[in-house]
Amino acid sequence: MNKMSNSPYIFIVEDNRFYANILAEELQAAKFSHVETYKSGEDCLGNLSKNPDIVILDYCLGKLNGLEVLKQIKLTHPNVQVIFLSAQEKLEVAIQALKFGAYDYVEKNDNAMKRVKTMISRISNYNELLKETNELKRLKYVMAACAVVGISLLTYFMYR
């Protein structure tokens, strides 16, 4: 998650600039305020150091197709959730996307925007729960360490 708010940090990777801009505007209107667009897989991969939470990825991108980009994202940033959003109607592509770790595959149609927004909300909720769980685990270890130190000090002073 972006440190400044609870809005997920989203990359849109889409070679059709018009569609990418519409998608970005729709997401920002839905209060997903941290959105960046990239027109190629190479641009996306070159900016992964910005640590996005979610990547919305097209299949047809030029030199690298979406599956190749997905593999690289998952190889270097396995916790980034990738939503495949494509006009590709081949079932093989959808199956491969899921096999390589995509959160889901959405075909570009009239319902695509609604599905993508729902998925982003689910991913955000999951990430928040994961963050809380990790914080509770850290707190548990800190408390256990304090207990060990406390018992050690008590033992030291009792048998001095």
Q: Decide if 143 is inside a domain.
A: yes
CA atoms 18, 82, 89, 44: torsion sign: positive
CATH code where residue 91 lies: 3.40.50.2300
Q: Decide if 148 is inside a domain.
A: yes
pLDDT at 4 over 50: no
Domain count, the chain: 1
Percent of the chain scored above 90 by pLDDT? Answer: 61
Q: Decide if 1 is inside a domain.
A: no
The two three-digit tokens of residue 49, written as one number: 């150091």
pTM across the whole model: 0.79
| Confidence band for 5, pLDDT divided at 50, 70 and 90 | low
Q: Decide if 100 is inside a domain.
A: yes
Q: Which residues constitute the domain of residue 105?
A: 9-158
List, for residues 84-113, the tens digit of each pLDDT value: 998 877 889 999 999 999 999 999 999 999
CA gap 111, 87 in Å, rounded:
13
Report the interhelical angle of 91-99 vs 66-76 (nearest 10°).
10
The two three-digit tokens of residue 33, written as one number: 């305020």
Mean pLDDT of 31-36: 92
| Confidence band for 70, pLDDT divided at 50, 70 and 90 | very high
pLDDT at 16 over 90: yes
Q: Decide if 38 is inside a domain.
A: yes
Q: Decide if 3 is inside a domain.
A: no
CA atoms 97, 99, 101, 103: torsion sign: positive
Assign 31 to helix, strand or coil: coil
Q: Which of 96-100, 116-120, 133-137 has the lowest mean pLDDT?
A: 133-137
Q: Decide if 4 is inside a domain.
A: no
